[in-house]
Amino acid sequence: MRLPFLAATLAPAIGALVAAAGPAAAQDQGSITERFSLNVLLPPGYCALDPANPQDTSQIALEQRVLGQGQRLVTAAVECGQREAWREAMRKPPFSPVDATENVVSHSWQFEGQPYDTRVQLPAKLCRTVREGSGQAAGESREDFGKRVTAALANVQTGESKMVGVSDELPGACILVVVSRGAPVDGQAITVLKMRGTVTIQGRVMQFYQNAYSSAGKELAALERASGILKAQIEANLAPAK
């Protein structure tokens, strides 16, 4: 079972930031005249999905639907050693192998109507909004954040998503974590740990997603590994071009 990342969790925070931008942010993608190119670096060991492969095409289309209005898929990738498992999963629901990860990057074109300075400040504002909404202190330790994840997992049911809070904040990037309970796979309970990094690169608002599908008892280890991968990817993409 695939759950939309924004379902009842990030929507209020993102919606508040879009509303604050005023009417210019509500333009549709076709009205954007300023184009740009960005060479997105994938995490080491990840392979981009192949549009020429029918199973990959299905997953690419699914990822774009999950992203929803206002975001354009830039790249979708899975760990190279898991590619065949993902292709098999696309041939028979629920579309996700257990103990696997995926990496998705999108361009949030709905922010293109905002002034450059506003876009640059958006990640910091998002982190602040989420912390205020979840009662999370700035500078929270990794141990305390792990306790926050455990508490969220104890209260989320199958088909539900719950915002955990800010896992990392970098200059120009805000990384959030949402936990979900997916439908059991072969009788095995599965947790979906969804990390989303909102990043401003070259004045463009990008979303970096790292989703981990974890079996019971492996959630915190899966989160630690996946969040490390996402943070390193964002840092690599934020680094000045050489």
For 79-98, how does the pLDDT look when each residue is reduced to its tens digit (9 = 90+)? 999 998 888 888 876 677 88
For residue 23, whether the previous peptide bond is cis, meaning omega lies within 30 degrees of 0, is: no
Higher pLDDT, 202 or 177: 177
User: What pLDDT does 96 receive?
Assistant: 77
Local structure of 141: helix, strand or coil: coil
Q: β-pairing, 46-48 with 188-201?
A: unpaired
CA angle, residues 57, 92, 186, in degrees to nearest 5: 135
- Rounded Cα gap, residues 108 and 143, in angstroms: 32
pLDDT tens across 141-152, in order? 999 999 999 999
User: What pLDDT does 206 receive?
Assistant: 95
Range 113-135 average pLDDT: 93
pLDDT tens across 189-229, in order? 788 999 999 999 988 999 999 999 998 889 999 999 999 99
pLDDT tens across 105-123, in order? 999 998 988 899 999 999 9
pLDDT tens across 9-35, in order? 454 454 444 444 443 444 444 434 345
Above 50 in pLDDT, residue 3? no
Backbone angles phi, psi at 165, to 5 degrees: 145, -160
Q: Would you place residue 37 in the very low, low, confident or very high pLDDT band (cuts 50, 70, 90)?
A: low
Domain ranges across the chain? 11-21+42-238
- Rounded Cα gap, residues 79 and 118, in angstroms: 35
User: What pLDDT does 227 receive?
Assistant: 93
Q: For the whole model, what pTM was predicted?
A: 0.84
Query: Helix (H) and strand (E) counts for the chain?
Result: 6, 7
Beta bridge partners of 161: 180
CB count within 10 Å of CB 117 equals: 9
User: What pLDDT does 21 receive?
Assistant: 40
